[in-house]
Amino acid sequence: MPSTRIVLLGNGWELQVCTVPPHASFRWQKANIPTPPKPVRPMVEITSPLDGHTEVVPALPDSAEWDAWIEQMKMWQADSDALFEEHYQEQMDFSLDYAIVGWRRAGEQEWTTDPPVDWKPRDVLARHGVDLYDNTRLNFIYLELLDDPDTFKKSVSRIMSTAYPGGEKDTSSVKDEEVTAVLDKFPVRDGTPGSARNVGSDTRTTKERSADVVIRAGDDGGRGKASFARRVVQLFTRK
């Protein structure tokens, strides 16, 4: 069983809540959110005026290719964000079902991991055409554990903060030394490391190069654990 923390709800329930592993978050997202393909950074061909040597290199800021790519990235990000929010409810279902390991009434000793065998939602829901989940456990979480409208938002916030610890932290900033470290991984040309080399008219500031590193360093569609966790927590706590 994964390690858990106890989360107290305002309606008399105590929950055992575990963190959602990065791999589980990533696999769920990959299976359920059809993220559009990320635009590839453009490459351009340059020729040395000294020896006529031709080389293909990444397009630089302020070039037509760069500007077009930036516009494509903006559209891609907007589409990705829209899809992420469109699947808000499914994300919540997955996160709650995974993170809530067990529950008990305050003061009781034993933890329970599944609803009682004879538990079922009230018939009034079916009479009024309310669709429920095939997942009985998820129905129990929503209808019993999170039944108090006055504490619902606060309860979900506590659960998500435990399931995705640090999920609201801003991970977008990059330190100068991290920029240099990334640039130094590029091939050495003429004995000059990447961090000290300019190609064409690259006169960017450290801040501008940092932004470029953030874009290029993004993995799996720019939706690693930190991004996924931060978005999940923000979505849940503002609803």
* CB-CB neighbours of 145 under 10 Å: 19
Higher-confidence position of 168 and 57: 57
Q: Global pTM?
A: 0.64
Q: pLDDT of 176-227, one tens digit each?
A: 444 344 334 334 434 433 433 333 334 444 444 434 433 333 333 334 444 5
Q: pLDDT of 117-172, one tens digit each?
A: 999 999 999 999 999 999 999 999 999 999 998 888 889 989 999 999 875 433 33
Distances (CA, A) of 101 to 135, 150, 195: 15, 23, 48
User: To 10 degrees, the CA torsion angle through 62, 66, 69, 74?
Assistant: -30
